[in-house]
Amino acid sequence: MHFASATTSPALRGVLTAAGIGLVVLLAVVGAATVVDRFGGRALLDPDAVPRSVTPRGDLSDQERTTIEIFQAAAPSVVHIDTSSRRLDELGKLVLGDLWPEGSGSGFLWDVEGHVVTNNHVIRGARTCVVTLADRSQWSATLIGTAPSFDLAVLRIDAPRAQLRQIAVGESSDLLVGQQVFAIGNPFGLDQTLTTGVISGVDRTVRTELGEVVGGLIQSDAAINPGNSGGPLLDSAGRLIGVNTAILSPSGASAGVGFSIPVDTVNRIVPQIIQTGAVGRTAIGVFIANRGLLLDLGLDHGVPIGEVVPGSPAEVAGLRGLHMSDSGSVVADVVLEVAGMPVRNRDDLVVELSEHEPGSAVPLLVWREGREVELTVRPVTVESFER
């Protein structure tokens, strides 16, 4: 639609201008009257305004004092980790020049030798790692090794012992839902951030970014956000009970469901990383059958064995895969327990086997053609099957 342009005569414009001025004056008067009416005739500005008197705080509560003490004792052990890497162009070729910032996370001092524990996903793919201590000093870190199956990694910095405060280590086998917990880290790059909560679940199983199954995790509602990964989860005594590793959130921000690797696992895996440079997943050499077989066998849990790898620890232990029974029906061994721990599915089997070192004797309870039998298997690392 087209609109014609409008024009106005000079005389009329003068009238309109005068009317406009009158309207402005009228609005100003009305506005002033409104202000006066609204504030009861008092002026808007007060030259005698002074700061308010301060209300005394009073004594801190016992809980507040405990929280402060825990933070002050543990914070010197918590570090900030910045990583950088080389970039590839759209054709997949290496871009020459400076390193690009890759990401950041948290970690903590494991000992006075300069070992720093963090998550594997924090440093994965990094070309360089810089560790910032609580005193703001920065140190170039060397990667000692990783355990991707447990989402753990160990760095080392060459800092004076006087600047290194190793974290106090607790235990996780006796944790209870409802216990208070404290998380320290660097969410969104904000150093030395403390969040608190309670343990809301134990023995959780999640998958890492690499698809690895990690079990036995501690679930808490302490806020864990991007940048908290690798930081410590502490108990009310200020001891390390877990390593913050994941959150369950559609948005990527804290939604009150965080997961931490239990310290008992950390305390077992970290020394192995320091000793050997790497820790792989343990395995026994089996392929899992369809779970529908459980119904055919009248079982409601367990891991049915589909195939046993020749020469594997499973074959040596006497495990049997799918085969025809003497009666002509299809049967297979079903693993019910690993070292006394019930297994419901493949993930449970993987998690329970990972709790044992390669070569150690691990008892299995197996359902075989209507009866339970006990076997002993000696797991090996997954890498052993790739050689």
| Residue found under tokens 């070292």 | 339
Kindly state the tokens that stand for 75: 């914070």
Would you call 260 a catalytic residue per the annotation? no
Would you call 200 a catalytic residue per the annotation? no
What phi and psi values does residue 243 have, to the nearest 5 degrees?
-115, 120
| Residue found under tokens 């297979």 | 332
Would you call 5 a catalytic residue per the annotation? no
Q: Which is nearest to 333 in space by CA: 362, 297, 360?
A: 297
Residues whose CB falls within 8 Å of the CB of residue 128, separated by 6 or more in sequence, listed in order: 83, 84, 85, 99, 140
* 194-217 core/surface letters (b: 16 or more CB in 10 A; e: else): bbbbebbebebebebeeebbbbbb
CA 279, CA 215: separation in Å to the nearest integer?
A: 16
List 106, 115, 121, 348, catalytic entry: 121
- Rounded to 5°, angle at Cα 380 from 154 and 282: 50
Residue type, 42: R
Q: Which helix (H) or strand (E) holds 273?
A: helix 263-276
| Residue found under tokens 């009310």 | 236
List 151, 221, 235, 333, catalytic entry: 151
Q: Collapsing DSSP states into helix, strand and coil, what is residue 274?
A: helix
Kindly state the tokens that stand for 73: 């004792």
What phi and psi values does residue 181 have, to the nearest 5 degrees?
-135, 160
Angular region, 177: left φ>0, alpha ψ -120 to 50, beta rest: beta
List 200, 220, 229, 354, catalytic entry: 229
Residue type, 139: W
Whether residue 79 contacts residue 109, with contact meaning beta carbons closer than 8 Å, is answered with yes
Long-range contacts of 34-37 (CB under 8 A, 24+ apart): none
Q: Active-site residue numbers?
A: 121, 151, 229
